[in-house]
Amino acid sequence: MPVDRKLFKHPFRKGKIPQWMCPACNKGVLKGKEGTFMKEETASSKEAQKHPDWEPEWLEYTYSCRFACTNPGCEQVVFNVGTGKLDYELEAKDDEYPEQVYFDMFYPKFFLPHLNIFQIPKETPSDIKSPISNSFSLFFTDPSSSAGSLRTALENILDHFKIKRFETRNGKRFRISLHKRIDLIPNKFSGLKDLFYAVKWLGNDGSHSKGVDEDDVMDAYDIFESILDEIFVRRSAAIKKLAKKINKSYV
């Protein structure tokens, strides 16, 4: 299922908090705890008010809030911090010119525990889950590093395929490039090579060069979810079906 871009990418207004899924039970949604939402104007924003050309749009905040899961059997508490600023919309009033109506917009930067941008299949090995989870934790504050963590998860999937990371030439040990390792994917999963390459390019940008934005990372999440489903979920289902067939033949 594609990542909900509106849910994770867009800022929010107080009282109109997105329906983020609880990262603990993945059933309830997160609801702000009464009286825990706090905002403070930043020092640089206060200083900017001394400028003769100051405008309300120059205001900047930091905020914090506590959320709790609505699932009675869970009630996980999640802490969230981020930034904020003033925005406005034009509001028409009868025969008068539209008037600017200001409101605060808030941009999440960090959740503890982190949100799950997509559901990692339970069949996924822990050494692959871990860097994906790390990617989730970095998504809101550092998309480039978030993409880099996905690259690490990709390398670990290739380890799962028993594809070596190093080769020896003239008595010296050399690391095999990720691209070459992808070339060595077993024929059984050769149809996934293009998906691996796509995540690799995004991971390279996140780690080495121009960087990536949230849309790029969410593209990588969509692709990665398909990779995990194809390798671990469908294969697990196929193995269970085979075992059932064998067991049935001996009954």
**Rounded-to-integer distance, Cα 219 and Cα 202, Å:** 9
Global pTM value: 0.85
Is residue 237 pLDDT above 60, yes or no? no
41: its two tokens: 């104007």
Residue 57 has pLDDT above 50, yes or no: yes
Instruction: Provide the β-strand partners of residue 96.
Output: none
243, pLDDT greater than 80: no
Per-residue tokens: 57: 């749009």
Model confidence over 115-161: pLDDT tens digits? 999 999 999 999 999 999 999 999 999 999 999 999 999 999 999 99
Nearest to 23 by CA among 107, 113, 110: 113
Calpha distance 134→153 (Å, rounded): 10
Q: Is the predicted pLDDT of residue 43 greater than 60, yes or no?
A: yes
Rounded-to-integer distance, Cα 56 and Cα 161, Å: 56
Interval 64-94: pLDDT, tens: 999 999 999 999 999 999 999 998 877 776 6
pLDDT digits (tens, 9 = 90+) for 172-217: 899 999 999 999 999 989 999 999 999 998 877 655 456 689 999 9
Instruction: Give CA–CA dist 77/65, Å, rounded.
Output: 10
pLDDT (mean) for 34-63: 93
Tell me, what's the pLDDT at 212? 85
Q: Which amino acid is at 203?
A: G
Q: Does residue 112 carry a pLDDT above 60?
A: yes
Backbone phi and psi for residue 119, each to the nearest 5 degrees, phi listed first = -85, 115
